[in-house]
Amino acid sequence: MSQPESAVADAQAGGPATDSLAELARRHGLRRAIARPSLPSYVRQLWARRHFVLKYATSRNVSKYSDSALGQLWQLLTPLLNAGVYFLMFGVILGQQKDIPNYTAFLITGVFIFTFTQRTVTGGAKSISGNLSMIRALHFPRAALPLAYAVQELQQLAWSMGVLTAIVLLTGESPTIRWLLVPVALLLQLIFNVGASLFMARVGAFARDMNQLLPFIMRTWLYASGVFFSIPARVDDLPESLSFVRYVLELNPVAAYIELMRDLLIHEHTPPQWAWTTAIFWAVFALVVGFWYFWRAEERYGRG
C-alpha cells in the first residue's frame, strides 16, 4: 500500500487517539496542495515568470482600448484632458499660474507623475480579485499579477513622458545635464509603485469594499500631492496650530516624486530639501513591506 493510501486508511480507521490529521500527514510525507514557499524560493519563482509578467502586461495594454476608435491614443489623451481641466480651474480661474513660473509644465508634470502611481495602485488593488479564475486554474506566484499591472502602467508612462518632454520644451525649457537623472527618479517611483501595488493587492483581495473606497482615497491623495500648487509655498503660510499638515504634505511619497521631476525638467523650480530623502525612503520601505505583506498571504489568494 502506498503512503497516501496508508494515510487515508489510518485516518478512516480512526488511528491512535493522539494522532491528528497534521501528524498523519507528516508521518506519511504528505504536504498541502497549496503552501507558501519560503521568501527566497518565492523570489526565484517570480523571476522565472518574468516573461509571463511582461507578456501579460503588454497584452492588457493592447486590448485595453481595442474597442475605441482612437485606440492607444487614449493613453495620452486621458492625462492631457485631465491636465487641461485642471489648468482651467487652478491656473486660470484660481490664478495659480501668476505665482508659479511655467505653470503649464509645472501642472502637466504633476498630473502625469501622479497618474502613474494612481493607476498602478488602483490596478494592483484589483489584480487578485479581478483574476480569480486564472488564480484558481493555474499555479504561479500570485505577485506576478500586481507586478504585471505595474509593468503595464510603466509601458504607458513611456508614451506619456514623450509627450511631457515635448510640452516642457514647447513652454521654453531647455535640456540640461539634470535631465539624465529623470530615469533615476522614475525608477524610485516605480519601486514605490510596485510595493504599494502589492500591499493594496492583498487588501483588495480580502476587503472587497476597498474598490468602492479607492476613488475617494485617490482623490484625497491627488489634492494632497501638490499637483496644482507648490507645497513649500503653501506650508510656509500655515499657522503653528496646523504644523502637522506640513509633515503630512512633506512626507507624502507622490509629492516627493512630483517635486523631483519638476526640479529635473523645469529650470526655475527649486525642490524642497526633503524631496530626495523622502523619495528614497518610500521606495525602499514600500517595496520591502509591500512584498512581505503580500507574500504572507500567498496560499490564501483565490480560496473561498
Mean of the per-residue pLDDT values of the chain: 82
Is the pLDDT at 195 greater than 90? The verdict is yes
Model confidence pLDDT, tens digit, residues 115-159: 999 999 999 999 998 888 888 888 889 999 999 999 999 988 888
User: Would you call 49 helix, strand, or coil by DSSP?
Assistant: coil
* pLDDT greater than 90 at residue 5: no
Predicted confidence (pLDDT) at residue 93 exceeds the cutoff of 70:
no
Residue 172 has pLDDT above 90, yes or no: no
pLDDT at 78: 75
User: How far are the Cα atoms of 157, 206, 246, 258 from residue 186, in angstroms, in the given order?
Assistant: 10, 30, 25, 10
Integer Cα distance of 300 and 303 in angstroms: 6
Angle at 273 between CA 270 and CA 278, to 5 degrees: 115
- Report the alpha-carbon distance of residue 256 to residue 271 in Å, rounded: 9
Predicted pLDDT of residue 8: 47
* pLDDT band per the 50, 70, 90 thresholds, residue 258: very high
Alpha-carbon torsion 286, 287, 288, 293, what sign? positive
Asked whether residue 239 carries a pLDDT value surpassing 80, the answer given is: no
Opening angle at CA 257, ends 180 and 149, nearest 5 = 95
Reduced to 3 states (helix: H, G, I; strand: E, B; else coil), residue 175 is coil
pLDDT value at position 189? 97
Identify the pLDDT of residue 7. 47
- Residue 34: the pLDDT is 62
- The pLDDT value recorded for residue 262 is 92
Is the pLDDT confidence value at 194 over 60?
Answer: yes
Q: What is the pLDDT of residue 81?
A: 80
pTM value is: 0.83
